[in-house]
Amino acid sequence: MLKSVFAAAIVLAFFAFGASPAAAAAPTVTDGGVQNNFPDGMVFSVHAEGVAITNVRLLYKILPDGTSASARPDFTPSAKVDATVTLGNPATLYLPPGTVIEYSWEVTDSGGAKATTEQQSFFYDDVRFQWQKVDGTGMTIYYYSGSEDDATNMHTVAEKAIADAEGLLGTTVPFDVQVWVYDSTDDMRPALQRTSPGFESQIITQGVRVATNTVLVLGNVSFDTLRHELTHVVTAEAGESPLGHLPAWLDEGTAVHGQLDQGGYKDAIEQAINRGNVLSVREITSYPGDASKINLFYGEAWSLVSYLVDTYGDAKYAQLFADIKAGKGVDKSFEAVYGFDQDGLDNAWREANGLPARVTPAPTTEAPSATTVPTLAPVKSGGDDGTSIGTVIAIAAAVIVLAGAVGLGGITLARKL
């Protein structure tokens, strides 16, 4: 009898201490890959299993700037989950061709256990066309029409445009740059930031910087458009930061300065100087709302930049950009480098062009951050590719304002990151 009781006690002890249930297994997660639906974004898929999957996150980073973010799919918590996340939906997040996304998945179960996938990268290209490329020394030209010789010539021009702008601004672009060359307006329009139907029907975009490292160009021998837009890549690197922003005239004037032929822009400022009705520098710290002043805006911006560079040299001009980027403010940067603010520049430039000093200075409040706008339809004026970057506009002034207000990063039509 005692032996039976002792045996029963051993059995109870075994169940109490030696036969605890197995610990719950950690969740598992499998990357389901990415589907490219350009221009309507990319779809990331994931499969997860566990006791009860309660949280799923796509962790991603947009290169080259390294902007990190996360997105959560809609799903019902359960032991098995299949879910998707779409990035690049034009209505919520514009991503241009050539965007590289680094990503991984993270899942969490009801007990707090986590599992993640290895980091992957995805190249978001325009899958509507069979792209070829010419690359080397940090520059890639993507093209699907025209000859390889044309693309090679564009590559040569692009390398020199970047190098010239880097030399002028005393900076170095630390990332690879890509240019996507489209054959027609209809081909390129879906790759652009979405705007209103009215805007799209009345504007032809010749070229635009759509990301820190990405430029879209219309035409495979549009050399001056290419020079203009690639100069914007360098001005952003030299003068833009969370602390400081370039006024519109300084940014665009430098880009026009990068062209070999200023075409209609040069004509517009020469005519305005002859008539004595130029704009004040304060008027062009942001883009004009009057469509009739667009060519004059670009022409006067170029003339002001040429005056600074020709009169005071490259070194001071580069220092101006560096000071603005450091957050000194535009006018204080001008005073530190040149000894005058933008009003002083206005009168110095007027005097150099035979115009009297401005009697009543414009308000001295600095304009908000400038936004690079796309290069629009050209005015015929000769040059190495038969056109300039001048603008033919037959639309209301409000449409021009819209071009700068469309808004990646900030994305606008020509995104400043």
Last residue of a domain, one of 105, 124, 143: 124
Q: How many domains does the chain have?
A: 2
Q: Clarify whether residues 104 and 142 are in a common domain.
A: no
Residue 21 lies in a domain: no
What tokens appear for 399 in the block? Answer: 């449409």
For residue 203, pLDDT over 50 is answered with: yes
Q: Please state the pTM of the whole predicted model.
A: 0.80
Return the pLDDT at 342.
97
Given pLDDT bands bounded at 50, 70 and 90, which one contains residue 259? very high
| 282, 284, 289, 290 alpha-carbon torsion, rounded to 10° | 100
**163 closest CA partner among 139, 185, 140:** 139
pLDDT of residue 384: 41
The domain in which residue 82 lies consists of: 28-124
| Model pLDDT, residue 26 | 85
- The alpha carbon dihedral of 249, 250, 252, 257 has a sign of positive
Task: Answer with the one of 90, 124, 158 that is the final residue of a domain.
Answer: 124
Write out pLDDT tens, residues 328-370.
999 999 999 999 999 999 999 999 999 999 875 555 555 444 4
Question: Rounded to an integer, what distance in angstroms lies between the CA atom of residue 372 and that of residue 255?
Answer: 10
In a shared domain, residues 116 and 227: no
Question: Do 329 and 239 share a structural domain?
Answer: yes
pLDDT of residue 199: 55
Q: Which amino acid is at 30?
A: T
Residues 112 and 253 placed together within one structural domain of the fold: no
Quote the CA–CA distance of 21 and 249 in Å, as a whole number.
72
**335 lies in some domain:** yes
- CATH number, residue 359: 1.10.390
Q: Is residue 153 part of a domain?
A: yes
- Of the two residues 95 and 387, the one the predictor is more confident about is 95
Cα–Cα nearest to 30, from 13, 18, 46: 46
Residue where a domain terminates, one of 124, 141, 173: 124
What's the pLDDT score for residue 41?
Answer: 95
- CA–CA separation, 293 and 261 (whole Å): 20
136 and 120 in one domain?
no
Rounded-to-integer distance, Cα 230 and Cα 255, Å: 8
- Beta strand pairing call for 132-136 and 139-143: antiparallel
